[in-house]
Amino acid sequence: MTFDVRRLVGRWSLRAASHAGRLTYLVVDMVRGLSEWRIYIPRTFEQAMSIGYGSLFIVLLVAGFTGAVTSLQAGYQFTGSVPLYIYGAVIGESVILELGPVLTGLILAGRIGARYAAELGTMRVTEQIDALESLGRSPVSHLILPRVLAGMMVIPALTMFANVVGFLSGWLAAKSSIGITNADFIFGARYYFRPFDLWYSMIKATFFAGAVTVIPCYIGYNTQQGAEGVGRATTLAVVAASVTILLLDTLLAKLLLNH
Amino acid sequence: MIELRKVSKRFVKHVVLDGVDLLVEDGQTVALLGPSGVGKSVLLKHIIGLIKPDSGEVLVDGLHVAALKRRELAELRGKIGYVFQNGALFDSMDVRENIRLGITDEQCSDDDKYCTDRVAECLRLVNLPPEVGLKYPAELSGGMRKRVGIARAIAGKPKYLLYDEPTSGLDPMNADVIDALIERLQEELGVTSVVVSHDVRGSFRVADKVALLWQAKIRAVGTPEEILASRDPAVQQFLERDLEMAVIQSESVGGGG
């Protein structure tokens, strides 16, 4: 039994080290590929338009409902026990610090991450990536950099839109459910607000954008074994990106808020 | 010149190539025959550096492919056209854009007029009408996809052409069209070619030299006549089976017409 556990741990460690090595190699390739801007810049804008417009509706929808539900639950928990202006602080801070970036990241892990892994995985198993290499062209500059850079541009922007919509829907829900005045809500939101909160939200969104783009691109790029492999890569990409977002969320809270 | 010296490759425990030697002289067309799954495509991918050998050397134009740096390898690949088994066309691009991507010379690929003319010329060389250029790969038949794949491979005016199963999955008539196209391209472009196939009849038609890959080794090499005259039981077994199939196919096509 002990022997089996050791073997299992050994195998997992080797696999993890192998993935870490290949992921690092891919990131190094991406940095090297930055000089080929004539190749990736036009493709980056195409990707950004595609994923930006395509994701805007679902991101805003989720943000809107999340802000409203946060407000209604805060009303249920705190009515009568705290001054009304506190609702402005609770809703504003919850949305900006946590719900906006994390929910946007998780939605986009499903939407963009799955798409990237499936696209690159299909290109790998149909030899399109080999074909690109055989033409002396870099798959990193043609396929991966545009996707990663588009995500890094679009995801923080989408997060900011989500913050605004979540905050506004929370405000409206608070007005209708607990009858808070605009002045009280704004006072609470401003009283506890620090400009760093917006920076923190933006920093989180940027890290999440890295997770949502680099990990699925890596997994899709290394897909094997036909259609089944593409399916497996897509699922794995969404799970890996989502887990990474949650880990980064904890790590960034520890590093940036509790120092 | 393309030369493989004692090339070995294994995937986990499966030995695919075991000390393979092969020489392709300039201007020559070599057909690499062998049963499905024997490692013919793996050998071809060694030539263009998509796979590195575990041991041995692959030399193209006197350059040791596995030892080349990124930029050197990209330059070498610019001299090699590779026709993939299923075309490997980029499905997000139309046929024109696919062929244009094959123009590997940086100065030429920036010149729009040159690219437009070259794409039209390549379509003509593979017997496709210009309007096909506006179609996407999903709108093409299997034979057309193969021809577009060939057009993309020759767009960069390569010195070497590598064909991976150019006629697989095609009916005998379409296979004949592709074989005739390969023959014509050899004559018009004068390139050095390696054709990987399990189609004996087609390979004998296009090749100056034939090599049989059998159980991870090159079992026989020679002119088509020498291979046909070989007494090696493995060679005989492979040829008989494939030539019988070719006769059956040609009879059924003849009967149908």
Encode chain B in three state secondary structure. Answer: CEEEEEEEEEECCEEEEEEEEEEECCCCEEEEECCCCCCHHHHHHHHCCCCCCCEEEEEECCEEHHHCCHHHHHHHHCCEEEECCCCCCCCCCCHHHHHHHCCCCHHHHHCHHHHHHHHHHHHHHCCCCHHHHHCCHHHCCHHHHHHHHHHHHHHCCCCEEEEECCCCCCCHHHHHHHHHHHHHHHHHHCCEEEEEECCHHHHHHHCCEEEEEECCEEEEEECHHHHHCCCCHHHHHHHHHHHHHHHHHHHHHHHHC
Domain for residue A166, yes or no?
A: yes
Q: Which residue has the tokens 């994923």?
A: A51
User: Across the strands, what pairs with B81?
Assistant: B161
Domain for residue A18, yes or no?
A: no
Strand-strand pairing, B192-197 and B29-33: parallel
| Angstroms from A26 CA to nearest CA on chain B | 14
Query: Comparing C-alpha atoms, which of A231, A211, A209, A210 is closest to residue A220?
Result: A231
B86 touches chain A (CB under 8 A): yes
Q: Which residue of A has its CA nearest to B102?
A: A135
- Answer yes or no: is pLDDT of B28 > 80: yes
Q: Using CB atoms, which residue from A128, A136, A138 is nearest to B90?
A: A128
The predicted structure's pLDDT at residue B237: 83
| Angstroms from A29 CA to nearest CA on chain B | 11
B82 touches chain A (CB under 8 A): yes
Residues of chain B contacting A133 with CB distance shorter than 8 Å: 50, 77
Task: Choose, out of A134, A224, A225, the residue to mutate when testing the contact with B (most B CBs < 10 Å).
Answer: A134
pLDDT-above-90 percentage for chain B: 43
Q: How many CB atoms lie within 10 A of CB A92?
A: 25
B110 touches chain A (CB under 8 A): no
The predicted structure's pLDDT at residue A182: 92
Residues of chain B contacting A128 with CB distance shorter than 8 Å: 88-91
Residues of chain A contacting B77 with CB distance shorter than 8 Å: 133-136
Give chain B's mean pLDDT: 87
Residue type, A55: S
Domain for residue A23, yes or no?
A: no
B68 touches chain A (CB under 8 A): no
| Angstroms from A232 CA to nearest CA on chain B | 21
pLDDT-above-70 percentage for chain B: 93
Q: Which residue of A has its CA nearest to B83?
A: A131
B23 touches chain A (CB under 8 A): no
Test A130 with B101 for CB contact under 8 angstroms.
Answer: no
Beta-carbon contacts below 8 Å between A and B: 50
- Answer yes or no: is pLDDT of B231 > 80: yes
Q: What is the mean pLDDT of residues B41-47?
A: 93
Report how far residue A140's alpha carbon sits from residue B70's, in angstroms, rounded to the nearest whole number.
Answer: 13
B50 touches chain A (CB under 8 A): yes
Q: Using CB atoms, which residue from A126, A132, A137 is nearest to B86?
A: A126
Test B75 with A136 for CB contact under 8 angstroms.
Answer: yes
Domain ranges of chain B: 91-157
| Angstroms from A126 CA to nearest CA on chain B | 6
Q: What is the mean pLDDT of residues B80-97?
A: 92
Domain for residue A223, yes or no?
A: yes
**What ipTM score was computed for the predicted complex, to two decimals?**
0.85
Show the low-confidence residues of chain A (pLDDT under 50).
none
Test B48 with A134 for CB contact under 8 angstroms.
Answer: yes
Band (B228; pLDDT cuts 50, 70, 90): confident
Test B84 with A138 for CB contact under 8 angstroms.
Answer: no
Q: What is the mean pLDDT of residues B13-39?
A: 89
Q: What is the mean pLDDT of residues B198-225?
A: 88
Domain for residue A12, yes or no?
A: no
The predicted structure's pLDDT at residue A192: 87
The predicted structure's pLDDT at residue A3: 66
3-state secondary structure of A180: coil
Band (B51; pLDDT cuts 50, 70, 90): very high
Long-range contacts of B220-225 (CB under 8 A, 24+ apart): B221/B22
- Answer yes or no: is pLDDT of B255 > 50: no
Distances A150 to A30, A85, A164, A233, B99 between C-alpha atoms, Å: 14, 39, 22, 21, 26
Task: Choose, out of B77, B103, B160, the residue to mutate when testing the contact with A (most A CBs < 10 Å).
Answer: B77
Q: For chain A, what is the domain count?
A: 1
Q: Which residue of A has its CA nearest to B162?
A: A134
The predicted structure's pLDDT at residue B233: 86
| Angstroms from B90 CA to nearest CA on chain A | 6
Band (B256; pLDDT cuts 50, 70, 90): very low
